[in-house]
Amino acid sequence: MPDLTIAQGVNQALRDEMHRDDRIVVLGEDVGALGGLFGVTAGLLEEFGDRRVIETFAAEGGLVGTAVGLALYGLRPVAEIQFADLVWSGFEQLVSEMAKLRYRSAGQYSCPVVLRVPYGAGVGGGIYQSQSPEAHFCHTPGIVVVAPADTADAAGLLRSALRGEDPVVFLEPKRLYREGSIASDEAVPLGSARLRREGTDVTLVAYGSTVPAALEAAQAAATRGIQVDVLDLRTLVPLDIAALLRSITKTGRAVLVSEATRTGGYAAELAATLAERAILHLEAPVERVTGFDTPVPYAHEDKYLPDADRITAAIERVANF
Amino acid sequence: MGRQLLSLLSADAESTEAAKVLLDDTQLRALYETLTLTRILDDTCTGLHRDGRVGFFVPSLPAAASSAAAAIALHDGDWLFPSFRDAAAYLARGGQIDDFLAQLLGAEGDLVKGHQLPGQGSLPAGRFVAPSGAAGTQIQHAAGVALAMQLRGDTQVAAAIFGPSAVAQGAFHTGLNAAVRHQVPAIFLCRTLGTEQPTVAARGTGYGLTTELVDGTDCLAVANAVTTARAQAIEGGGPTLIEAVVDGSEPEQDAAGRLRGFVEHRGLWDAEREEAFVRRSQDRLLDALEAVESAGPVSAEGVLQDVWAEQPWMLQEQAARLEKTRLAEDGDA
């Protein structure tokens, strides 16, 4: 298949899956004629009509709650939250309803909603259009949390999300939307990480929007004689624990990358997991490379974001410990 | 406001007849039986709560009249999203006493495995979805299910029942807004307290819904309003907001008692039937209570199930740890 951008790949996966399964409906503000704020739903209204592509108000509580109702009835709603930063007004529906309907009915009802959530900084969006809220979702039992980094994974993970029975928060790395890479029509299983580069000295764990910087850093480290395993998690919950332990057992050194706020973040969960399960293999303290404990600033965004230089420096520290 | 509360049920059965009751005889008998059973269940469960055997119980009265009436006025394929006070609707939608008690007491056999707040079981076959602890979220779910019905071309309706606290929540606004935008087949039934001036129906007018203001202690008035709203929704006429004013201070909280004269007038009920029904219901309740108490509590394994469709490795590990703890407690480890 030709190269597609992530936005095009997600669009193609939606289109294919909507042809495959007539229960799939797309909803959100501007998902119709406009084709979504980032163009991800472009052309779907024309192709599938307004019974499959539904315009809603800009009220995330209403959007998520409507999707919950559609899913309860047996449809497969894909709801677009325009920016991750807007998800908070839908958070009650997400946490108390979407995530818990299966549990509170002990499986009598399920709620297979896919929430597409463009997230992350690096587009000059400032304080309210740049957040990485994944830790909040990961801390809520009942949700699968996905964060792809390229076209094939974005499309493939979305296919799996739409074929599963669980609610999925599908975090789309919006600063990579226009990046082109190899496309594929294969489904990618949820819960499986991808080893993007093999090395023996340091395990570098990244996901979503930070993967390109991680690969760049691994390349830079290689020129200095440090060989790095780059593990792209792809799914945050459930974590591919086997892949993580396999790598750390080999290298004994870990750098964890996440562009989210540091304290209480997903990298902290990874660090705790390594401490519990791999401490006897560790040759150096685990390092986190994350955003600051601040909202995402409009100015100096590049300093907030983990870039290849910061990641490379961390790799060198743990390698030379 | 000056708007009159719609009411039908009067002490004089002929006047009630003249007001045009929309429920048929089968529905009327079901309504009377549900109200009677709810009263018996309420008395028993309130006693269990008083004795400390149940941590949390929300009595059905004075909500039972509107609860049972709405549930019975809906059809089989319709969906109902109840509030916390809708045990009457649970029974009317096919809920069984033994399931209710097993759930209330967290006993083995609880269909929701001890996961949910007591008194709040779901009924998939009855299209009845127990509420969460978040006020008003079900308003949006009813709008969503109704939208799904519309998208699929199914001729059914979705209804939500809620109280005044939900009206202050965002879901009241977003739910009604969405329902009107898509003109979905939904019915929103809000119970308000008679101690305050009714204001909810008037808000519905602002959103562009059809509204009704009814006496919420009058089961026939509520049933008529729901039946009318249902017919409108099915015909594509859009959603309705019904404000059912409930005067909790009235001595006539006994909704069954208020209906009794009318069902007798229709020849659907008499003293003999009453005695047999009450005795049978009480026996069923006692049997169920005994069964539930001898069943013991739900298993601990169950609390780790049904979080995701398949149990992920974290929960498998936690389940293994739980099993180890249990064995240690039993002295087997």
Domains of chain A: 3-182 (3.40.50.970), 194-319 (3.40.50.920)
Using CA atoms, how far residue A311 sits from A107, A203, A281, B166, B249, in Å, is 43, 12, 22, 48, 68
Using CA atoms, how far residue A276 sits from A82, A273, B67, B238, B320, in Å, is 37, 5, 52, 57, 17
- In the predicted model, residues of chain A with pLDDT beneath 50 are none
pLDDT value of residue B253: 62
- The DSSP symbol for A237 reads E
Query: Does B114 score more than 90 pLDDT?
Result: yes
Query: Does B332 score more than 80 pLDDT?
Result: no
Q: Residue A172 and residue A7: Cα distance in Å, rounded?
A: 9
pLDDT value of residue B333: 44
Q: Which of A24, A52, A98, A108 to mutate to test the interface with B (most CBs of B within 10 A)?
A: A108
Ramachandran area for residue A199 (φ above 0: left; ψ -120 to 50: alpha; else beta): beta
User: Between chains, do A65 and B175 touch, taking CB under 8 Å as contact?
Assistant: yes
Q: Does B144 touch chain A (CB under 8 A)?
A: yes
User: Between chains, do B143 and A65 touch, taking CB under 8 Å as contact?
Assistant: yes
User: Between chains, do A96 and B137 touch, taking CB under 8 Å as contact?
Assistant: yes
User: Between chains, do B115 and A66 touch, taking CB under 8 Å as contact?
Assistant: no
Mean pLDDT of chain B, nearest integer: 93
Contacts of A142 in chain B (CB under 8 A): 307-308
pLDDT value of residue A250: 98
Q: Which of A312, A319, A297 is nearest to A129 (CA)?
A: A297
Greatest Cα pair distance, chain A, in angstroms, is: 60
Rounded to the nearest angstrom, the minimum Cα separation between B131 and chain A is 9
**CB neighbour burial string for B25-64, b if at least 16 within 10 angstroms, e if fewer:** eebbbbbbbbbbbbbbbbebbeebbeeeebeebbbbbbbb
Contacts of B174 in chain A (CB under 8 A): 57, 59, 61-62, 65
Contacts of A74 in chain B (CB under 8 A): 148
* ipTM summary value: 0.96
Is B299 within 8 Å of B323 (Cβ atoms)? no
Is A230 within 8 Å of A195 (Cβ atoms)? yes
pLDDT value of residue B70: 98
User: Between chains, do A166 and B309 touch, taking CB under 8 Å as contact?
Assistant: yes
What pLDDT digit, counting tens, does each position of A133-172 carry?
Answer: 999 999 999 999 999 999 999 999 999 999 999 999 999 9
What's the average model confidence in pLDDT over B246-252?
64
Residue B245 β-bridge partners: B192, B215
Which pairing describes strands A168-173 and A144-146: parallel, antiparallel, or unpaired?
A: parallel
pLDDT value of residue B314: 97
Could you give the residue ranges of the DSSP H alpha helices within A172-300? 211-223, 241-251, 266-277
Q: Residue B70 and residue B161: Cα distance in Å, rounded?
A: 9
What pLDDT digit, counting tens, does each position of B30-67 carry?
Answer: 999 999 999 999 999 998 889 988 878 888 888 999 99
User: Between chains, do A106 and B306 touch, taking CB under 8 Å as contact?
Assistant: yes
Which pairing describes strands A228-232 and A180-182: parallel, antiparallel, or unpaired?
A: unpaired
pLDDT value of residue B248: 64
Residues 88 through 107 of chain A touching chain B, CB cutoff 8 Å: 89, 92-93, 96-97, 100-107
Residue B32 tokens read as: 């009377």
Count of CB atoms within 10 A of residue A76's CB?
22
Q: Residue B277 and residue B286: Cα distance in Å, rounded?
A: 14
pLDDT value of residue B284: 95
Q: How confident is the model at residue B327 (pLDDT cuts 50, 70, 90)?
A: confident
The values of phi and psi at residue B265, to 5°, are -60, -40
Residue A192 tokens read as: 């499986």
Is A167 within 8 Å of A115 (Cβ atoms)? yes
Using CA atoms, how far residue B302 sits from B2, B96, B235, B289, in Å, is 54, 21, 44, 22
Indicate the pTM of the whole model.
Answer: 0.96
What's the average model confidence in pLDDT over B151-164?
97
Question: What residues contact residue A189 under an 8 Å CB cut-off, 6+ apart?
Answer: A160
Query: Does B109 score more than 70 pLDDT?
Result: yes
pLDDT value of residue B1: 46
Q: Does B174 touch chain A (CB under 8 A)?
A: yes
What's the average model confidence in pLDDT over B279-300?
94
Residue B160 β-bridge partners: B81, B188
Q: Which of B242, B253, B255 is nearest to B3 (CA)?
A: B242
Closest Cβ opposite residue A96 in set B132, B144, B178: B132
Q: Does B103 touch chain A (CB under 8 A)?
A: no
Helix (H) or strand (E) holding B18: helix B13-18
Q: Residue A191 and residue B310: Cα distance in Å, rounded?
A: 12
Q: How confident is the model at residue B325 (pLDDT cuts 50, 70, 90)?
A: confident
- The DSSP symbol for A97 reads I
User: Between chains, do B302 and A92 touch, taking CB under 8 Å as contact?
Assistant: no
Is A79 within 8 Å of A115 (Cβ atoms)? yes
Greatest Cα pair distance, chain B, in angstroms, is: 74
Q: Does A22 touch chain B (CB under 8 A)?
A: no
Query: Does B326 score more than 80 pLDDT?
Result: no
Which pairing describes strands A287-289 and B79-81: parallel, antiparallel, or unpaired?
A: unpaired
Contacts of B178 in chain A (CB under 8 A): 56-57, 62, 66
Residue carrying the six token digits 């008692």: B257
The torsion defined by the Cα of B60, B62, B68 and B69, in degrees rounded to 10, comes to -170
Contacts of B152 in chain A (CB under 8 A): 73, 75
Q: Residue A234 and residue A255: Cα distance in Å, rounded?
A: 17
Residue B254 tokens read as: 């006994």
Rounded to the nearest angstrom, the minimum Cα separation between B130 and chain A is 8
Residue A232 β-bridge partners: A194, A206
R_g of chain B computed on alpha carbons: 21
Contacts of B142 in chain A (CB under 8 A): 69
Query: Does B252 score more than 90 pLDDT?
Result: no
Residue A24 tokens read as: 């799939």
What pLDDT digit, counting tens, does each position of A234-284 carry?
Answer: 999 999 999 999 999 999 999 999 999 999 999 999 999 999 999 999 999
